Amino acid sequence: MRADEALTLLRWQIAIGADEAIEAVAPDRTRPTEAPVRPVAPPPAAQPSPPSHPPAYPPTRPPARAAATGGAAIPVERRVVAMPGIAASSAEIAAAATDLPALAAAIAGFEGCQLRNTATNLVFADGNPAARVMLIGEAPGGDEDRLGKPFVGVSGQLLDRMLAAIGLDRNSAYITNILPWRPPGNRKPTAAEIAMCLPFVRRHVELVAPEVLVFVGGTSASAMLDRSEGIMRLRGRWFQYRSDEGKKTTDAICIFHPAFLLRSPAQKREAWRDLLMIRSRLVTPD
């Protein structure tokens, strides 16, 4: 093959998202390897943008409730002291984080998941942590990995339009993912990766304490609700999401992933129904 042909082929592979050298079988990236740990950029601080139009309902929670998620309101600091040679588990590390910056720093320092070695950036969250609504997607893609923010690529743009249709934006919603690092080549997260990162996202929910949870796509829905059904069965109804301590429940709903809607536009009618359910819940709380 000539050099210019090889270059054209390479450009085409990058354009379709094949920008990592990966094997046919996904390696278990929850296992430690000898590979050097690539430093991960600290997560960018969430910078809410001003709302483009006033929503029909209060976008954020009353200050007292929102403030209760901050570090100052939680006096007891739970520390994990790792024994020499024994890495603390993601569950121990997550439980020790008493506010969002601490959780972001804890994830950034977590070396148990090898996805961080192929990712460019940690993707922690975007939006307003005092918002009433928290959305949880699957995992960052290429654009999110480059920019360090969730849902900023093509499917993120559709998600923004879906939110705008019910009066929400990134000032009145908070967004994260099950996995904080991009799986190479945008492959599906493995069960082991999801299990390892789940304590982080569950702690994330506890610290944000939203009024409404929206699980975006089947991977997020089944992981967060611990259900085996697919998104077709899980969407369109309300669930009670239980926090780790089991004391608190939060209204939760599952919606189609925008990447799926881009491939299957006929499902947009059902997606609209789900969005209307979220809007009704926000207009008529409890």
What does the binding site for ligand URA look like in residue numbers (CB under 6 A)? 137-141, 144, 150-151, 153, 155-156, 177, 217
What's the closest the beta carbon of residue 151 comes to ligand URA, in angstroms? 4
**Residue closer to ligand URA, measured from CB, 127 or 137:** 137
What's the closest the beta carbon of residue 163 comes to ligand URA, in angstroms? 14
* CA gap 191, 268 in Å, rounded: 28
**Residue closer to ligand URA, measured from CB, 17 or 285:** 17
Specify whether the CB–CB gap between 110 and 198 falls below 8 A: no
* CA gap 106, 78 in Å, rounded: 13
Q: Which residue is nearest to ligand URA (CB)?
A: 137
Alpha helix (H) ranges present in the chain?
Answer: 3-15, 63-67, 90-96, 100-108, 115-118, 142-147, 154-165, 191-208, 218-225, 231-234, 258-263, 268-283
SS3 238: strand
What's the closest the beta carbon of residue 218 comes to ligand URA, in angstroms? 11
**Residue closer to ligand URA, measured from CB, 69 or 186:** 186
* CA gap 264, 2 in Å, rounded: 39
What's the closest the beta carbon of residue 144 comes to ligand URA, in angstroms? 4
**Residue closer to ligand URA, measured from CB, 95 or 107:** 107
**Residue closer to ligand URA, measured from CB, 59 or 127:** 127
What's the closest the beta carbon of residue 34 comes to ligand URA, in angstroms? 30
What's the closest the beta carbon of residue 197 comes to ligand URA, in angstroms? 13
Q: Which two tokens stand for residue 211?
A: 């009024």
* CA gap 261, 16 in Å, rounded: 19
Q: If we measure between CA atoms, which residue out of 187, 175, 104, 110 comes closest to residue 141?
A: 187
**Residue closer to ligand URA, measured from CB, 95 or 175:** 175
* CA gap 180, 157 in Å, rounded: 19
| Cα torsion 22, 25, 31, 34: sign | negative
